[in-house]
């Protein structure tokens, strides 16, 4: 088995994640999702010009390189059967050697005008019928496997495409069927959507399927605004110098994420806390059980991130609003913010814990 390292990559400099000032809620939501992708992605809603795209690209750049089978269109893992395409899986089962290399975690942008074929991929029907060969042209879901799929202005994307993205993110697979011919490939990715609430919300049925929902607002503090502007100006003038000055912080955070991913399976959530989490969801009249499941996962991911094996009340408190604010039923006559409502019910139920 040959191992090659991805070198000489001609890529644009990316603003360091640790240099981003403020927007702690968005940064935490992204970190929790890369620690445990089963949380189900994050929807980021906020004002224009608040650094949504910059932050999402920065977290992808921060992550450690991943091993893939060389020249495989699905970024197949060289040893994990669940993260392989069928062709690679057959080679592994036959105990044939596969060439591997390391690549940066894929970061795929989905444009608003994308068609279903562009997203899912296409099968060459003529070649399949005439030559009996399945020829697959991979789409964005194939390229995003084991990475991050980012949809800016997701609230303006066709609902049918959003459904496809959410189904693939939840199942980890994408299936393309044309004229009785079917091809399936792994599509495990962290789905990140962003949008401006002024341009409309997603339908509740779709919004509910995002694991976390982060709200960001334009920074009002003048001192903080100046700091953000100066950071960006320094990066634009000399990106390499800016990246170098944050090198140690980037390495520390990268190691912290790697350790959390490794320790996640050893993190415990007390049964009493699980019951109270479900009480909170019930009291808030949250439909289904997604809210309960996501809070459990996010709290454990946060505990692992903080280097602990036991989830605390503070862990749950820190993630509960991220997990539930978008799952509450909207009452047009109610003036209270959904985040405040979640926090209020949480305090009532967990008080004295």
Give the tokens for residue 327.
């799952």
Asked whether residue 257 is assigned to any structural domain, the reply reads no
Domain membership of residue 153 (yes or no) is yes
188 is catalytic: no
pTM of the model: 0.86
Q: What is the largest CA-CA distance in the chain?
A: 71
Give me the percent of the chain exceeding a pLDDT of 70.
91
The terminus-to-terminus CA distance of the chain in angstroms comes to 53
Please indicate, yes or no, if residue 259 is contained in any of the structural domains. no
Q: Are residues 341 and 306 in the same domain?
A: yes
| Position 234 in a domain | no
User: Is the domain of 70 the same as that of 144?
Assistant: no
In a shared domain, residues 31 and 79: no
339 and 286 within one domain = yes
Distance CA 102, CA 11 (A): 16
Please give the residue range of the domain that contains residue 97. 66-103
- Chain segment 24-73, per-residue pLDDT in tens: 899 999 999 999 999 999 999 887 777 788 898 899 888 888 999 988 88
**Is residue 250 over pLDDT 90?**
yes
CB 210 within 8 A of CB 40: yes
pLDDT digits (tens, 9 = 90+) for 101-115: 999 999 999 988 888
Q: How many alpha carbons lie under 13 Å from residue 288 in its C-beta half-sphere?
A: 12
Per the CB < 8 A criterion, the answer to whether 301 and 264 are in contact is yes
Q: Per residue in 8-25, pLDDT tens?
A: 444 678 899 999 887 889
In total, how many domains does the chain have? 3
Query: Which residue has tokens 């105990």?
Result: 95
Contact between 142 and 187 under an 8 Å Cβ cutoff? The reply is yes
**26 CA to centre of own chain:** 11
Highest mean pLDDT among 141-145, 212-216, 294-298: 294-298
Question: Average pLDDT of 285-303?
Answer: 94
Whether residue 202 sits in one domain with residue 322: no
Residue 330 is part of a domain; what is its CATH number?
1.10.8.80
Res 219 pLDDT > 70 = yes
- Closest of 306, 275, 309 to residue 292, by C-alpha: 275
Q: Which two tokens stand for residue 56?
A: 């999402």
The average confidence (pLDDT) of the chain is 86
Pairing of strands 121-123, 107-109: unpaired
Residues 298 and 280 in one domain: yes
Give the pLDDT score at 129. 61
Q: Which residue has the higher pLDDT, 134 or 305?
A: 305
269 and 312 Cβ atoms separated by less than 8 Å: no
Is the model's pLDDT at 122 over the cut of 70? yes
Looking at the fold, whether 45 and 112 belong to one and the same domain comes out as yes
Q: Say if residues 53 and 222 touch (Cβ distance below 8 Å).
A: no
In a domain, 309, yes or no: yes
Residues 53 and 92 in one domain: no
Residue 188 lies in a domain: yes
Say whether both 45 and 174 belong to one domain: yes
pLDDT at position 5 is: 42
In a domain, 4, yes or no: no
Q: Is 197 exposed, middle or buried (0-12, 13-18, 19+ CB in 10 A)?
A: exposed
Q: Where are the beta strands (DSSP E) in the chain?
A: 3-5, 42-46, 66-69, 100-103, 107-109, 121-123, 136-138, 147-152, 173-178, 181-186, 189-195, 212-216
Half-sphere exposure of 245 (CA within 13 A, CB side): 10
Do residues 293 and 162 both lie within one domain?
A: no
- The predicted pLDDT at position 178 comes to 76
In the set 101, 146, 209, 290, the catalytic residue is 290
């Amino acid at each position: 088995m040959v191992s090659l390292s991805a070198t000489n990559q001609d890529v644009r400099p990316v603003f360091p994640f640790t240099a981003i000032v403020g927007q702690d809620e968005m940064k935490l939501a992204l970190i929790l999702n890369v620690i445990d992708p089963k949380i189900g992605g994050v929807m980021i809603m906020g004002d224009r010009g608040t650094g949504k795209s910059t932050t999402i690209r920065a977290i992808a750049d921060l992550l450690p390189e991943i091993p893939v089978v060389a020249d495989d269109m699905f970024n197949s893992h060289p040893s994990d059967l669940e993260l392989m395409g069928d062709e690679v899986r057959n080679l592994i089962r036959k105990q044939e050697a596969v060439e591997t290399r390391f690549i940066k975690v894929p970061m795929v942008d989905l444009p608003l005008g994308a068609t279903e074929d562009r997203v899912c991929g296409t099968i060459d029907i003529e070649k399949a019928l005439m030559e009996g060969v399945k020829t697959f042209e991979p789409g964005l879901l194939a390229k995003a496997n084991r990475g991050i799929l980012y949809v800016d202005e997701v609230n303006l994307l066709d609902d049918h495409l959003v459904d496809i993205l959410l189904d693939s993110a939840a199942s980890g697979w994408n299936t393309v069927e044309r004229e009785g011919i079917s091809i399936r490939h792994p599509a495990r990715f962290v789905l990140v959507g962003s949008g401006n609430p002024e341009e409309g919300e997603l339908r509740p049925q779709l919004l509910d399927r995002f694991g976390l929902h982060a709200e960001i607002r334009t920074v009002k503090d003048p001192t903080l605004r100046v700091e953000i502007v100066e950071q960006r100006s320094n990066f634009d003038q000399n990106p390499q110098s800016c990246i170098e000055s944050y090198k140690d912080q980037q390495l520390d955070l990268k190691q912290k994420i790697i350790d959390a991913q490794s320790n996640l399976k050893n993190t415990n959530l007390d049964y009493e806390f699980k019951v109270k989490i479900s009480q909170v969801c019930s009291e808030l009249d949250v439909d289904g059980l997604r809210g309960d499941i996501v809070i459990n996962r996010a709290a454990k991911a946060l505990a692992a991130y903080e280097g602990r094996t036991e989830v605390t009340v503070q862990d749950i408190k820190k993630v509960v609003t991220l997990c539930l604010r978008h799952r509450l039923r909207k009452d047009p006559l109610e003036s209270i913010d959904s985040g405040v409502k979640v926090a209020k019910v949480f305090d009532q139920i967990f008080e004295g814990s």
